[in-house]
Structure 1
């Protein structure tokens, strides 16, 4: 495990790179975004991705959000961002993908993005704004912001997976509405991306109940026959709480006993890689990911050391509301 830094638009950003024994680059890389208030270390111990990385020859990368949060695409008031320091997270993740390819860690055609909760919302923002950057996406415990019905206009079809518990009390499976913004339900979120991708009809199947003591079961719904070979998938965890499923040993994170049931019928790392591994490779549009231009600094950041401040009118602020 290496603890690395990357300077982006005047910010000193941090990320962990975990390379299993015997894996040499350029290799497939899964970039995993933590939930709000987590550190890369606590998220790594809790999520369980390392086991899947070792089993399948992947590199796992754990970036850190500025202030341990991500500047995702929901309205600011829904993310408590008015009280928290915003980061130039889109620019950071673009620069991170570029650096991983330049350093020979990542095969640029096989860089993938997953995340949970606040990190899952950030995954969707990147899918909408930088569809060309990652070969596939997985959003766990996060539904689509309602504003994405008008604002999400990716440059290509997006292979994307959703995993969500029906009893999630933090990010409701059925979606929620506030005067300052709303989120879609988990099924509506998947259907939104299926429409964006021009997919055909969905199919559904119950997944094996491998642990009958965990109080949960799982159902997979999948949309295929999408443009350019993309796919959309929703795994619904019946009675699952605000926790990513795991069948491997993990360390409990802060407040996890209060977040509801954690499914042991499926494993997040294994399911994420099963979905993602079908995308990318030679000839993929992600082969040029290292050349993606770095977005300009957010005008909301102020003039920090090393930052280049652009006039607000010159910057696309979609998804970046007043913080």
Structure 2
């Protein structure tokens, strides 16, 4: 199948996902309003349609990230950018395999965390109790964005963050501290430890779409007081309050195992949405390979649903980096 046909199929499925969850389909690009990064017209660091491992130095630590360019990447056109953060013990490359994010019409970067502490000494992200002490992953994310924007043609108003588990929790921290550079977030099965939300005063309302299984045995949907984990509905409602949303509309059952909650009338066009998977495990909805323990729904594809939501949100021009 040609790159053009793959792109067409992805966009068609994405539009359908938007209608399913109550969204309004939007064009994949808005080049007329794009704010281009300094990397436009710079030769790409790898062939379009490929994924490759890259490195950069951040705070004296050699960090790595998996970078995917869409098949029709053109450095004369500003592209949206998705940052995808892996779960504890996983890798950027591993997340790329099950998430299907690299099928989207966007540049996707999959950063790798630093080995943390505790059980197994696995890669982790700031904000979790097992993260590597002293490592500032927020600063690393800023350095990574600088690197990507210098070497690629990025629409700086359309930078998004998603992730799984510990990586999803980290997107909450980014929304709190980097709202001037991250347009919207899409956590999946998020581990929202207290540090990911302490003193959270974002510089602007941040659109959020959250996915979580009600049967998640790793990060319980109802919370875990012993680990400081909130009930997921409470975490989502807290973002609706931060965004000063006017009301929560009636929940919709869009599939037998999918219930969607929405808060609307938020400041500056923000929106908060929660996708609950009935009986869902610690998994990525729609994954075709292992993404965590428990039931994986196939009634929705998380990458399509989150893209339909994210791509409709942009940073205000006044807050562009």
Scaled by the length of structure 1, the TM-score of the pair is 0.76
CA offset at residue 41 of structure 1? 1.4
**What are the Cα deviations for residues 112-166 of structure 1, in whole angstroms up to 9, with x where unaligned?**
0000100011100111111111111111101544566762111111111110000
CA offset at residue 48 of structure 1? 1.7
Deviates more, 1:38-47 or 1:227-236: 38-47
Q: Which residue of 1 aligns with 2:281?
A: 241
**What are the Cα deviations for residues 22-70 of structure 1, in whole angstroms up to 9, with x where unaligned?**
122431111100001111111111222122x1xxx21111110112533
Q: Is the 8 A contact 1:245 1:266 kept in 2?
A: yes
Q: Which residue of 1 aligns with 2:4?
A: none
Greater relative contact order (CA < 8 Å, ≥ 6 in sequence): 1
SS of 2:313's partner is coil
Q: Aligned pair in 2 of structure 1 residues 16, 191: CA closer, same or farther (>3 Å)? A: same
Give 1:72's match in structure 2, choosing from 115, 119, 126.
Answer: 126
| Runs of 5+ consecutive residues of structure 2 not aligned to the other structure | 1-50, 116-121
Quick one: distance in 1 between partners of 2:167 and 2:189?
9
Give 2:270's match in structure 1, choosing from 230, 245, 249.
Answer: 230
CA offset at residue 86 of structure 1? 5.4
CA offset at residue 252 of structure 1? 2.8
Q: Which residue of 2 aligns with 1:107?
A: 155
Quick one: distance in 2 between partners of 1:50 and 1:150?
32
Q: Is the 8 A contact 2:166 2:191 kept in 1?
A: no
Q: Which residue of 1 aligns with 2:233?
A: 187
Q: Is the 8 A contact 2:219 2:282 kept in 1?
A: yes
CA offset at residue 87 of structure 1? 2.9
| Runs of 5+ consecutive residues of structure 1 not aligned to the other structure | 210-216, 289-323
Q: Is the 8 A contact 2:173 2:197 kept in 1?
A: no
Quick one: distance in 2 between partners of 1:147 and 1:40?
23
**What are the Cα deviations for residues 50-98 of structure 1, in whole angstroms up to 9, with x where unaligned?**
22x1xxx211111101125333324x2xxx34xx565321111011112
Q: Aligned pair in 2 of structure 1 residues 148, 94: CA closer, same or farther (>3 Å)? A: closer
Q: Is the 8 A contact 2:176 2:197 kept in 1?
A: no
Quick one: distance in 1 between partners of 2:114 and 2:194?
25
Quick one: distance in 1 between partners of 2:193 and 2:271?
20
**What are the Cα deviations for residues 263-312 of structure 1, in whole angstroms up to 9, with x where unaligned?**
1111111111111111116x534532xxxxxxxxxxxxxxxxxxxxxxxx
Quick one: distance in 1 between partners of 2:98 and 2:108?
14
Q: Which residue of 2 aligns with 1:205?
A: 252
Quick one: distance in 2 between partners of 1:285 and 1:47?
32
Quick one: distance in 2 between partners of 1:235 and 1:195?
18
SS of 1:23's partner is coil
Quick one: distance in 1 between partners of 2:319 and 2:300?
29
Q: Is residue 308 of structure 2 the alignment partner of residue 270 of structure 1?
A: no
Give 2:94's match in structure 1, choosing from 2, 26, 42.
Answer: 42
Quick one: distance in 1 between partners of 2:68 and 2:195?
35
Q: Aligned pair in 2 of structure 1 residues 285, 235: CA closer, same or farther (>3 Å)? A: farther
Quick one: distance in 2 between partners of 1:14 and 1:99?
12
Q: Aligned pair in 2 of structure 1 residues 44, 147: CA closer, same or farther (>3 Å)? A: closer
Coordinate RMSD, CA, aligned = 1.9
Scaled by the length of structure 2, the TM-score of the pair is 0.77
Quick one: distance in 2 between partners of 1:143 and 1:231?
21
